[in-house]
Amino acid sequence: MHKLQPETALPQPPLYVGSEVFRRAAFGANHPLKIVRHSAVLDLVRILGWLRDDDFRTPQPATVAQLTKFHDSRYVEALQYADSTGKVDPEIRERYHIGTLENPLFEGLFERAATTVAGSIMSARLALEGHVVFHPSGGTHHGRRDRASGFCYFNDPVFAMRTFLEEGCGRVLYVDLDAHHGDGVEEAFVDESRAMTVSIHEKDRWPYSGAADDRRNGGARNFPVPRNFNDAELHYLVEHAVLPIADRFRPDALVLCCGADSLGGDPLSAMGLSNVALWDTVDRLLEFDLPTVVLGGGGYNPWTVCRYWAGMWGRLTGQEMPATLPPAAVEMLTLMECDLIDDEDVDPAWLTTLVDTPHDGPVRAEIESLAAQLVKD
């Protein structure tokens, strides 16, 4: 197991990695990610008085040399050129999947994507100094080595994991709680015995990969779960499968992808978890007491995203969760918009509270069977 150096062995405060780059409009007018996310999370934790200036870090965009340690140089060059010119030739669009409805061009695209990668590199290095690091702008887990995919242009979780390995960690565990299978991360480490990927995702949901019997040379464990996946079922999988798998793998560092689309109310998934269940899951993984990076991910309901990730920072820093939000927070949430959610479907609790009502329910036999299948060697 990785041991902190003596001078950093004492517990260090959690750190928040972010950038004003993410305050700029992105993805265009008709994209699920045009909603306000990262800037709203940052604003909410500041309204709540939970973020000290000393605990905030801002990365500079990753350089081309850094990006090409994983990504194909021709792809990086094509993306940079498309961003600078604002256009994509049909051949480039077909080859690299950029300039599409899924992965559109927009002003500042390359800087935004490169800053996300730099944030994950920075986060891993800070984690090795003894901090739990929260990087909600990270979690672009679908990006491939040589193309964009699933709204992701680069794959920042890969860079966090590679940084841990390059800095001397013997093994790195990646746990993905996003509603969509973490396919890009899994593919990146298919031949790397020092990395294991664990993904809990909705069954029969894009990208339609991550079957339970897909173990990618033994380095992957996939948990495709049914619709209306509830809090009790997540707890069951974590306790009966994820934690035993992690304990057996004996990682030296953790990278967690905490996509908010696994929450109830997300328009692009149907898992239905509460933010409390997801915070509790992260707490359980933090009990391994390892260098840990906590990333964001997907999430297309701006209200549930903002409350989940702000509350995540609150959990990491030991804050008392308020029963109701202060007026400034309510005003901010009330002004949010989302084309994918009708006004009458906006839960009033999303505007006034931080903590979800638990989504309790029975543990279905399918979940018990999945845990039993995946916990086996």
Q: Is the omega angle on the peptide bond into residue 207 within 30 degrees of 0, that is, cis?
A: yes
Query: How do beta strands 253-257 and 292-295 pair?
Result: parallel
Single-letter amino acid code for the residue at 221: R
- For residues 21 and 28, give the distance between their C-alpha atoms in angstroms, rounded to a whole number: 16
CB 297 within 8 A of CB 257: yes
Q: Angle CA(189)–CA(194)–CA(200) in degrees, nearest 5?
A: 55
- The residues that bridge with 140 in the sheet, in sequence order, are none
Classified as helix, coil or strand, 222 is strand
Q: What are phi and psi of 170, to 5 degrees?
A: -75, -35
Give CA–CA dist 158/143, Å, rounded: 9
Catalytic residue (choose from 142, 180, 201, 359): 142
SS3 224: strand
CB contact at 8 A, 336 and 35: yes
Q: Which residues contact 249 (CB under 8 A, 6 or more apart)?
A: 171, 173, 196
Question: Which amino acid is located at 151 in the chain?
Answer: F
Catalytic site residue 2? no
Q: Catalogue the active-site residues.
A: 142
